[in-house]
Structure 1
Amino acid sequence: MPVNQHEIIGVLAQLAEEREIKVAVTESLKGAALVGAATFIGGILLGPLGLAAGGIAGGITAAASSKNSFRPVAKVILEDMSPKQQALLASRVHNILREFNVTDLVLLLPIIQGNARLGEAVMSALLGFIQSEMNLRLM
């Protein structure tokens, strides 16, 4: 059975889920600004002790606010990518699969998992796409 776009996207999502790859969906600059502001205010109000207290409070607040700011790549692939982005990603991976003569869906996942070079090439294409085309930062 020949490999099509939807099957490639499904396999990529499964591979990303198995490897537990996540992306940051908010900027870390926001957390840094929060810590900086809390440290500054603590320092103004309580002096040197306030710097420490403000830094701790800001750090805890930044960590709590960023709790849900990491998203599994599998969900990004299946839920956040537009059909156009999915098609582009699938096309890139399909070109890699052609180089390795992979043409059968039934064999696709086992071949990718069993062939280190192919697995690395596919994951590299996926992660490169996530970073360059979607401007997301990998965690």
Structure 2
Amino acid sequence: MPLRVDDVMRLLCHLSEERSIRAAVKHSARGAMVAGATAFVGGLMGGPPGLAVVKAYRGILKAWHGVGVDGGVPQIIMELPPIQQQKLYNEVVAVMRDLDWTDSTHLIALVMGNSVLQQQIVATLVSYVTRELSAQVQYGD
């Protein structure tokens, strides 16, 4: 089953690259300020070990809050924790219904040959990114 999740993630990356879909996670400036402030305090209080503790803490927060990246949706998709990838996979597979594929290349070819299906999958992806990651989605360059 994990291979099928990877196939769908590659499809979503392909579609979002082709349509130049970008996402901006809300409050990312506030997160950057907090990250900078905690790094400063950690370095000031604990020196190099303090910076290591702050880095580990930020990693835990990032995993807990999900992906906090501004940029291309493909990057965001690939950095999703496995649980979130599985949830996204379930939503996309519900749209694809009875579509049967052998690998990611075959899946991409099947979807790219059906513009209605492409639109439905992109709408599902945008809905997921907006709802689950609290991101604002932008199209084009």
TM-score range, shorter chain: 0.5 to 0.7
Q: Which runs of 5+ in 1 are unaligned?
A: 31-68
Residue 134 (structure 1) aligned with residue 116 (structure 2): no
Cα deviation digits, residues 53-101 of structure 1 (max 9, x gap)? xxxxxxxxxxxxxxxx74000000002x1111100001111122224x3
Quickly say closer, same or farther: Cα 1:28–1:89, change in 2 above 3 A. closer
Q: Taking structure 1 as the reference length, what is the TM-score of the superposition?
A: 0.61
Asked if structure 2 preserves the Cα contact closer than 8 Å seen for 1:22 and 1:72, the reply is yes
Give the letter aligned to residue 7 of structure 1.
Answer: D
Contact 1:11 1:109 in 2 (8 A): yes
For these two proteins, the number of residue pairs brought into alignment is 97
Task: Return closer, same or farther for 1:29/1:77 CA change in 2, 3 Å cut-off.
Answer: closer
After the TM superposition, which residues 18-29 of structure 1 pair with which residues of structure 2 at under 5 Å, given as runs? Answer: 18-27=18-27
State the TM-score, normalizing by the size of structure 2: 0.60
Distance in 1 separating the partners of 2:72 and 2:28 = 17
Two-structure CA RMSD over aligned residues (Å): 2.3
Q: Distance in 2 between matches of 1:27 and 1:13?
A: 24
Q: Where in structure 1 do 4 or more consecutive aligned residues deviate above 2 Å? A: 25-30, 101-107
Could you give the per-residue CA deviations for residues 104-128 of structure 1, whole angstroms, max 9, x where no partner exists?
3343111211211110111111010
Kept in 1, the 8 Å contact 2:26–2:136? The answer is no
Equivalent AA in structure 1 for residue 129 of structure 2: I
Distance apart, 1:26 and its partner CA: 4.6
1:41 equivalent in structure 2: none
Higher relative contact order (CA 8 A, sep 6+): 2
User: How many percent of aligned residue pairs carry the same amino acid?
Assistant: 25
Equivalent position amino acid for 1:8 in 2: V
Conservation of the 8 A alpha-carbon contact between 1:97 and 1:103: no
Q: Name the SS of the counterpart of 2:97 in structure 1.
A: helix
Larger Rg: 1
After TM superposition, give the deviation of residue 103 of structure 1 in Å. 3.5
Structure-2 residue corresponding to 1:119: 118
Counterpart secondary structure, 1:24: strand
